[in-house]
């Protein structure tokens, strides 16, 4: 009986405490000293006191004192950097978040609802593990190789945040790629994408189509001391870019100088008249001399030709005189030949007319016809004698 009385007393006292506590909360609410805190499924509430986590509120409704400061986090938003240290010091909160370190030469892309949201470089990021909208992708920019394994979307986003650099090679061109001033590879026409990091990337491009070099204004003395000015043209094409570049960085200048020396060597051993009568011999000599030599360094000498031979004023005047004399002699020869042919024709005609009286008569009538064509009016005098004479003329 005593035990039952004690148990009832304890139960009564407990109910009294609960009732008092309930009354106390009622009074506090009534006096506006407490407020209701509602936390939904996409939120986390954290009460912070003296820079330490005092209490964590998950989904539910709570009554808290008005003077109690509570920070409500949206789990679908990136956590402010100011809160990182406080959250990491609390084991419960630390287990609820994902802390991502973004080191030097790394970039973190945050997607929200599968759309680009924000990027971070050299800055740590913290998100909630139970987020339903946020996703992250981290890219290491230290790689120096050509990027070939990223999706089109990733490439566009990384370009937007300046994490990529592009090297473009135009059509019909090739480029020699250098990394930190060291040869890397030969690039064909197209776009090449690399991560934007401290590696120095440069490219030297060359047109792989046939190229023309003009060797102009070369003043050269012939063997017989005639001073000429030569304009020459060569056409070449790169067939092995690495070989050509390694042999001579400025191979166009090398080609120019080699052809220049070849012209002086060949024309200097020719007489002026021989050169003028056989200009193609210069082109043949240049091609034979340098085609094999250029092929060894990755160049194909496709064509060569004399463009102009410019004579000094005195030689040009002499040449003009010679030309006039030659043409005059040719004209005189033709005239004499034509005169001889004409005389021979007249002689043959006279012999035929002498042997054939009818032919003579026809010729006479031909001339009378020609005279009649030139005469406008004819006046006849002499009476019947004129008619008899005309009759006699046509009946002989």
Tokens of 111: 């997607």
Do 185 and 235 lie in one domain? The reply is no
Would you say residue 98 lies in a domain? yes
Would you say residue 224 lies in a domain? yes
Stated pTM of the model:
0.63
The predicted structure's pLDDT at residue 375? 65
Would you say residue 365 lies in a domain? yes
The predicted structure's pLDDT at residue 96? 93
Do 347 and 331 lie in one domain? The reply is yes
Tokens of 301: 């000498």
Would you say residue 168 lies in a domain? yes
User: For 131-140, 271-280, 317-326, which range has the lowest pLDDT when averaged over its residues?
Assistant: 317-326
User: For 258-262, 333-337, 380-384, which range has the lowest pLDDT when averaged over its residues?
Assistant: 380-384
Would you say residue 115 lies in a domain? yes
Q: What is the H or E stretch that residue 19 is in?
A: helix 2-30
Do 197 and 215 lie in one domain? The reply is no
Give Cβ neighbours of residue 75 (< 8 Å, ≥ 6 apart): 42, 43, 44, 128, 130, 131, 132
Q: Can you tell me the distance from the alpha carbon of 155 to that of 157, in angstroms, rounded to the nearest whole number? A: 5
Do 79 and 109 lie in one domain? The reply is yes
> How many structural domains are present in the chain?
4
Q: Which domain holds residue 374?
A: 319-395
The tens digit of pLDDT for each residue in 205-236 reads: 999 999 999 999 888 988 888 888 899 999 99
Do 162 and 60 lie in one domain? The reply is no
The tens digit of pLDDT for each residue in 193-206 reads: 999 998 999 999 99
Would you say residue 166 lies in a domain? yes
The tens digit of pLDDT for each residue in 270-279 reads: 988 888 888 8
Average pLDDT over residues 167-194: 94
The predicted structure's pLDDT at residue 99? 95
- In Å, what is the CA distance from 278 to each residue of 10, 270, 271, 305? 134, 10, 11, 12
Would you say residue 16 lies in a domain? no
Average pLDDT over residues 128-138: 93
């Amino acid at each position: 009986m005593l035990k039952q009385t004690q148990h009832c007393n304890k139960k009564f006292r407990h109910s009294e405490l609960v009732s008092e506590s309930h009354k106390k909360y009622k009074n506090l609410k009534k006096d506006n000293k407490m407020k209701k805190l509602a936390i939904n499924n996409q939120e986390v509430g954290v009460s912070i006191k003296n820079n330490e986590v005092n209490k964590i509120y998950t989904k539910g409704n709570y009554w808290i004192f008005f003077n109690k400061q509570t920070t409500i986090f949206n789990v679908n938003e990136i956590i402010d950097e100011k809160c990182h240290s406080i959250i990491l010091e609390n084991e419960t909160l630390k287990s609820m978040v994902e802390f991502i370190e973004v080191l030097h030469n790394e970039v973190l892309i945050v997607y929200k609802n599968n759309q680009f949201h924000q990027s971070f470089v050299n800055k740590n990021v913290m998100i909630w593990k139970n987020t339903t909208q946020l996703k992250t992708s981290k890219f290491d920019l230290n790689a120096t190789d050509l990027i070939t394994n990223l999706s089109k979307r990733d490439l566009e986003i990384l370009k937007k945040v300046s994490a990529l650099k592009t090297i473009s090679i135009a059509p019909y061109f090739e480029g020699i790629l250098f990394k930190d001033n060291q040869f890397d590879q030969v690039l064909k026409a197209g776009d090449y994408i690399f991560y934007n990091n401290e590696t120095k990337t440069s490219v030297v491009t060359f047109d792989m189509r046939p190229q023309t070099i003009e060797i102009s204004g070369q003043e050269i003395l012939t063997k017989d001391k005639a001073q000429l000015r030569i304009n020459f043209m060569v056409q070449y094409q790169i067939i092995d870019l690495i070989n050509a570049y390694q042999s001579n960085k400025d191979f166009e200048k090398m080609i120019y100088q080699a052809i220049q020396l070849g012209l002086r060597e060949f024309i200097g051993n020719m007489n002026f008249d021989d050169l003028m009568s056989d200009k193609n011999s210069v082109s043949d000599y240049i091609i034979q001399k340098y085609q094999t030599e250029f092929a060894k360094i990755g160049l194909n000498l496709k064509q060569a030709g004399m463009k102009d031979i410019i004579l000094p004023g005195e030689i040009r005047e002499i040449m003009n005189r010679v030309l006039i004399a030659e043409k005059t002699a040719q004209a005189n020869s033709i005239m004499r030949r034509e005169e001889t042919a004409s005389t021979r024709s007249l002689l043959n005609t006279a012999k035929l007319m002498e042997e054939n009286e009818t032919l003579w008569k026809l010729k006479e009538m031909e001339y009378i016809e020609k005279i009649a064509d030139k005469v406008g009016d004819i006046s006849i005098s002499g009476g019947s004698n004129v008619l008899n004479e005309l009759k006699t003329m046509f009946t002989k």
